[in-house]
Amino acid sequence: MNREQAKKRAAELVEKMTIEEMASQLRFDAPAIERLGIPEYNWWNEGLHGLARAGTATVFPQAIGLGATFDTELLAQIGEAVSVEARAKYNASLQEGDRDIYKGLTIWSPNVNLFRDPRWGRGHETYGEDPVLISRMGVSFIQGLQGDGEYLRTAACAKHFAVHSGPEDMRHFFDAKTDQKTLWETYLPAFEACVKEGEVESVMGAYNRTNGEPCCAHRYLMDEVLRGKWGFPGHFVSDCWAIRDFHEQHKVTERPEESVTLALEKGCDVNCGCTYQKILSAYQEGILPLEHIKRSAVRLFTTRFLLGMFDQTEYDSIPYEKVECREHLELASRAARESVVLLKNNGILPLQKDKLKTIGVIGPNADSRAALIGNYHGTSSRYITVLEGIQDYVGDEVRVLYSRGSHLYLDREEALAKEDDRLSEARTVAKCSDLVVLCLGLDESLEGEEGDDGNGYASGDKKDLKLPASQIRLLETVIQTGKPFVLCMLSGSAMDMNDADRYASAILQVWYPGARGGKEIADILFGKVSPSGKLPITIYRDLEGMPAFTDYSMEGRTYRYLQKPPLYPFGYGLTYGDTCVTRLWWDTPCYEDLVRKGAKVLVQAANRGGVETQDVLQLYVHVTGTEQEVPNPKLAAFCRVNLKPGEEKTFELWIPTEAFSTVNEKGERCFDGTGAYIYAGFGQPDSRTRELTGRECKCLKV
């Protein structure tokens, strides 16, 4: 069914409704209208990295880990898996007469905000800090969710529109201020791609204001940009209880009726929250025109018709057995393997089982299920922690000693014990082991969304990059034993790893790797699989020189604007192979052709190591002859490649014309450069990547 057909049917249905019935359908928990054959429907469902909050589902790595795969094909397949499980659960729930929250077909994912500051607690819900990476991954995930059938398999939602990345504890009243250049250079590209290329069915507004206006009723963002310049035809949903913030927090209105009127006037179609219960009051006062209510109702029923809710569809026969099926579990396993980033290796990895007698596995995240799953997660029928993955891999051939070592953030494990009551055990385990696998980091209790159960100060943001004090003391204890150790960092954001960089034999950034991710971590530790993930964020040495968290300018933030070498750069990650780019060429004769048509680039790459590996080929562009270009070369294209030992292959990548553009102070994308440099490598063309890898990117000058 095409949109025009669905819209026509929606308009005809809405015309039969009373004003009370129309108003009721704009709530997220829309009631039934029995006389018209309309069942109740709850619009709120989540699928960030697997279907969430509705019982058993396949739990994939958290979104930041998916970003680290740089694998668009994988993201499309994961999106499809999430939507298939959503349909399976939807079909089963309908048979049981269950139309509750988290059981519908409107999936409020992906989060395509840009991870601009490492302190933001929700950054691990995103794909990283680069607009191109976020755009490509977001579009693929959306296409997987929505499918290409006669009907939408599920309806995706790009969130949170648009200038939104903390602070969490201020989001209900905060005004994120940005200039037009930064807006169009950094904050809008991913949303534009999701709307224009991904044809995303819905967009969710953010809690905060942007340049004075609330994001869920923003004249410029919603009217001029989203509906106007981009021609977005779908529906707009508020973040949860964000409309209430208009009068209670932002103070842009005085009472609920005014907030409802403002939101509907600007085109916020469905309210996650309860403020739209005041629609009738606003209408009866004469401040809310009927046409605004009807417009939103038509948009919402257009989506419901596109989903086939009133028809028989090809998805009605998807059985419940598709939930957490073998195919989806294997896909989650692949995602976990591709997401792990090897940051340091002095040669200790891969571990050789036949040369080890005892391994010490230490740390509060070693046997933690919470550290596997991030936030917005479903329930797995089985979990495999890092400890369990290692135990399963070595079996009875190697003794595995375990100590939690410390609480995740408190100063003791047992309430009646003295401070650091697990440190002596950790020291003993280390001393008795040939080597240590140390598992530190965070979980959703420390970084996440404001108000999430248990997170710090009801916020979820980090005050700095440091691990909790209890874990710092544990790290120092392991270092002092002198035993070689491999650090596995389970976190969703950049942490201070300066001491680990100095003293650890190897470091793996494993994010929140999914419910059974411990198996894949063990496979990588012992060399069954070569690590191949790349950092989708910068791991900074410290926060010195970085603007205040509340400052939405980009100076000094993310690799595009970084002014000092990081500890580990965006795009960086080692493998067990030895990959390099040996040649870079094209058939584009001049800069004018690049601007007009884009460029097909040919890259020859080789694996000179003795281990088959995957790696991520990356192209960066830096436009010359203009002051409008971002300070550092920017990601323009990428692809995941597989190379056998000694193998050399040629790969074809496409650089779009936008890569050769810049954004001026008015927010206009223009082609004002006189030339460009194009770089190809398995990382950035920056000094720190060269230092860490010993490799130079190949370069073309136009």
Domain check: are 173 and 203 in the same one? yes
Q: Is residue 71 part of a domain?
A: no
How far from chain centre, in Å, is Cα 692? 26
Residue-level pLDDT at 452: 72
Domain check: are 551 and 633 in the same one? no
Residue-level pLDDT at 458: 59
Which residues is 344 bridged to in the sheet? 507
Residue-level pLDDT at 418: 98
Residue-level pLDDT at 453: 59
Residue-level pLDDT at 683: 98
Catalytic residue among 71, 130, 239, 269: 239
Rounded average pLDDT over 678-694: 98
Residue-level pLDDT at 29: 98
Domain check: are 642 and 542 in the same one? no
CATH of residue 389:
3.40.50.1700
The closest alpha carbon to 588, from 657, 534, 529, 634, belongs to 657
Domain check: are 622 and 515 in the same one? no
Mean pLDDT rounded to a whole number for the chain: 97
Rounded average pLDDT over 503-510: 98
Q: Is residue 660 part of a domain?
A: yes
Domain check: are 491 and 343 in the same one? yes
Domain check: are 190 and 254 in the same one? yes
Residue-level pLDDT at 110: 98
Q: Is residue 4 part of a domain?
A: yes
Pairwise CA distance, residues 471 & 460, whole Å: 18
Domain check: are 515 and 653 in the same one? no
Neighbours of 502 (CB within 10 A): 9
680 contacts 624 by C-beta, under 8 angstroms? no
User: Is 239 part of the annotated catalytic residue set?
Assistant: yes
Neighbours of 479 (CB within 10 A): 17
In total, how many domains does the chain have?
A: 3
- In one-letter notation, the amino acid at residue 247 is H
Helices 326-339/517-525 angle, 10° precision: 50
End-to-end CA distance of the chain: 47
Rounded average pLDDT over 523-539: 98
- The tokens for 558 are 């993310």
Sheet holding 235-237, edge to edge: 157-161, 202-205, 235-237
Residue-level pLDDT at 688: 98
Residue-level pLDDT at 451: 78
Q: Is residue 112 part of a domain?
A: no
Q: Is 401 exposed, middle or buried (0-12, 13-18, 19+ CB in 10 A)?
A: middle
Q: Would you say residue 267 has pLDDT above 80?
A: yes
Q: Is residue 370 part of a domain?
A: yes
Domain check: are 593 and 534 in the same one? no
Residue-wise pLDDT tens digits, 319-348: 999 999 999 999 999 999 999 999 999 999
Pairwise CA distance, residues 299 & 60, whole Å: 32
188 contacts 162 by C-beta, under 8 angstroms? yes
Residue-wise pLDDT tens digits, 440-483: 999 999 999 997 755 655 589 999 999 999 999 999 999 999 99
Residue-level pLDDT at 248: 98
Domain extent at residue 247:
1-39+158-305
Annotate 537-551 with DSSP letters as a single string: S-B-S--TTPPPTT-
Domain check: are 498 and 378 in the same one? yes
Q: Is residue 356 part of a domain?
A: yes
Residue-level pLDDT at 454: 59
Q: What are phi and psi of 654, to 5 degrees?
A: -115, 125
Pairwise CA distance, residues 460 & 549, whole Å: 14
Q: Would you say residue 588 has pLDDT above 80?
A: no
Task: Give Dmax (Cα) for the chain.
Answer: 80
Rounded average pLDDT over 178-188: 98
Domain termination site, one of 305, 324, 342: 305
Residue 488 banded pLDDT, cuts 50, 70, 90: very high
Residue 633 banded pLDDT, cuts 50, 70, 90: very high
Q: What is the SS3 assignment for 127? A: coil
CA dihedral 545, 546, 552, 554 (to 10 degrees): 80
Pairwise CA distance, residues 127 & 137, whole Å: 7
Domain check: are 593 and 546 in the same one? no
The closest alpha carbon to 607, from 535, 534, 533, 530, belongs to 530
The closest alpha carbon to 629, from 617, 620, 619, belongs to 620
Residue-level pLDDT at 456: 57
CATH of residue 172:
3.20.20.300
Pairwise CA distance, residues 25 & 262, whole Å: 18
CATH of residue 613:
2.60.40.10
Who has greater pLDDT, 628 or 453? 628
Q: Is residue 55 part of a domain?
A: no
Annotate 151-164 with DSSP letters as a single string: S-SSB-EEEEESS-
Residue-level pLDDT at 597: 87
Q: Is residue 67 part of a domain?
A: no
Q: Which helix (H) or strand (E) holds 214?
A: strand 213-214
Residue whose structure tokens are 């095409």: 2
Domain check: are 477 and 588 in the same one? no
Rounded average pLDDT over 60-72: 98
Domain termination site, one of 305, 321, 351: 305
421 contacts 414 by C-beta, under 8 angstroms? yes
Residue-level pLDDT at 587: 81
Residue-level pLDDT at 589: 66
Residue-level pLDDT at 457: 55
Cβ-Cβ contacts under 8 Å for 123 (sequence gap 6 or more): 64, 115, 117, 165, 447, 492, 493, 537
The pLDDT > 70 percentage for the chain reads: 99
Annotate 562-595 with DSSP letters as a single string: --S--SB-TT--B-SS-EEEEEEEE----HHHHH
Domain check: are 381 and 498 in the same one? yes
Give the C-alpha distances (Å, rounded to integers) separating 378 from 51, 79, 257, 334: 6, 15, 36, 18
The pLDDT > 90 percentage for the chain reads: 96
Domain termination site, one of 518, 533, 561: 561
Pairwise CA distance, residues 454 & 473, whole Å: 22
Residue-wise pLDDT tens digits, 79-134: 999 999 999 999 999 999 999 999 999 999 999 999 999 999 999 999 999 999 99
Pairwise CA distance, residues 81 & 329, whole Å: 10
478 contacts 430 by C-beta, under 8 angstroms? yes
